[in-house]
A and B are shown apart, each in its own frame.
Chain A
Amino acid sequence: MQRNTFKLAAVGVLGSVTLVMLPGCGSSSPTATAPETAAPASANGKTGTLLIRANGEDFVREGFTTKDGWEISFDHVYVSLADITAAQTDPPFEPEAGGKLEAQTEVKAVGPEVIDLAEGDAAADPIAVTAIEAPPGHFNALAWRMVPAESGPSVGSSIWMQGTATKDGSTIPFTIKVNEELAFTCGDFVGDERKGILAAGDQADLEATFHFDHLFGDGSAPADDGINTGALGFDPIAGLAQNNVVDVDSAALQARLSETDYTTFLAILPSLGHVGEGHCQEMNLTAL
């Protein structure tokens, strides 16, 4: 009897131990298949390089004819860029939808940069502004501010345009110094190729594009095209010439342009910034 009791006790203990161990066996498979949280590639040193470029397009480098027939040739178009920020956004930021930019990843350039959009010939690449080390991914948003330059040839101006305008045998050297501060927030680049798609160890471009035809119009487009109906043209600027030279800053434009022309001028500035053909939100001047 006692021997049987001992056997029953031993079986009970062994059974308990066996059953307690069963769940451990059962859990081995889920534990093995549980997803692992991969460290961000950037955290592993796997980054790439975002090369930020600025492009005034052919209008700046090759010159163009304004809506009112002036042949414009630029010697220099200085723009002062600050707080350049590239972002991976989800949902993708669409400036014309008026939404909020929700960055999942963003990288910023250090310090303001003044560059000359007129530099180089028509075949040259857009001007390289800065390079930023960045994690891989699709950088589908770009933002920047245009601030008065702290030094250099365009000191005090966010945009400095210098060149000549010719019409009917008359040539007017001009310098237009814009002091207004602008801030552009843009979505994905729209153009012949996709930009901002960065792989680890690779390089991708992003481009801040400036459409100066919005200011002066485009003589190659119909007069009733939107690019011309909303443009200031050059006639009002030519009217400011003194001794056949135009040299004006924003204060002079405000003081000497007609109220209508100055209002048009101010309304055009927020439309200068693009990403290729894609539009941007202007967050500073339009908020005034």
Chain B
Amino acid sequence: MKQHLIWLLALGLGGWGLPVLAHGLTVEYRQVSRVEIEARFETGEPMANAQVLVYAPNNPTVAWQNGNTDDQGRFSFTPDTAQPGNWEVMVRQAGHGDLTTIPVGASAAADSADVEVAANSLISPSTGLSPIQRGLTIGSVIWGCIGTALFFARGKR
């Protein structure tokens, strides 16, 4: 029997919100990036109480988190955004399993890649002259030429 994993939610931004004070208590909240999965067989039956193993990009061998789906085949986890890349989620039950990959921080990773490329693209032009250097050089060369011309144009004493 085949099963499918459905990703219900994989959105959210990090950041602490302002505390809410009530009778001396402090309640703080933080929005986090959470991934929710829903696993079901192709018949539509939920994979209830299935084993879930979550693997982080920097260690695909040892599970970063494990748990079980609920009776609706649902499971959620909050990936560590400090580890951008492909997070893998394995869901297993009674000899059947599936593994799916969730890109986390892909846009951030892409941005990082862009920054790196941009930095490199700046490195290459820097082997030439900056506008100021170019202006000073041209001016100096002209001044040097004038001086040289005046030197050879000087008359004999």
Please report A residues at the B interface, Cβ cutoff 8 Å. 2, 5-6, 8-13, 15-16, 19-20, 22-23, 26-27, 30-31, 33-35, 90-92, 94, 96, 138, 187-188, 190-191, 194, 197, 221, 225-227, 230, 276-279
Contact = CB atoms under 8 A, between A and B. Distances in A.
Nearest 10 interchain pairs by C-beta? A9-B147, A226-B1, A277-B97, A12-B144, A190-B97, A30-B123, A16-B140, A12-B143, A2-B154, A15-B140
Given A9-B150, A94-B100, A226-B41, A15 B144 contact: yes
A20 B137 CA distance: 7
A188 B99 contact: yes
Contacts of B1: 225-227, 230
B2 interface: yes
Contacts of A278: 97-99
Contacts of B88: 92, 188
Interface string B82-115: 0000101010101111111100000000000000
A190 B136 contact: no
B23 to A, nearest CB: 50
Given A16-B144, A34-B120, A5 B101 contact: no
Contacts of A15: 140, 143-144
Interface residues of B, number: 45
Contacts of B123: 30-31, 33-34
B92 A13 contact: no
A31 B120 CA distance: 10
B15 interface: no
A23 B130 contact: yes
A10 B95 contact: no
Contacts of A5: 147, 150-151, 154
Nearest to B101: A92
Given A9-B147, A91-B101, A138 B60 contact: yes
B147 A190 contact: no
Contact of B136 (A11, A19, A227, A277): A19
B89 to A, nearest CB: 11
B8 interface: no
B127 A13 contact: no
Given A8-B147, A13-B144, A92 B154 contact: no
Contacts of B26: none
Contacts of B90: 190
A18 B22 CA distance: 69
A34 B116 CA distance: 10
Nearest to B153: A5
B100 A27 contact: no
A197 B43 contact: no
Contacts of A35: 116, 120
A20 B128 CA distance: 10
Nearest to B45: A226
Given A190-B98, A277-B96, A197 B60 contact: yes
A11 B147 CA distance: 9
Given A96-B4, A276-B97, A9 B92 contact: no
A31 B147 contact: no
A191 B99 CA distance: 10
A47 to B, nearest CB: 19
Contacts of B98: 96, 190, 277-279
A96 B154 contact: no
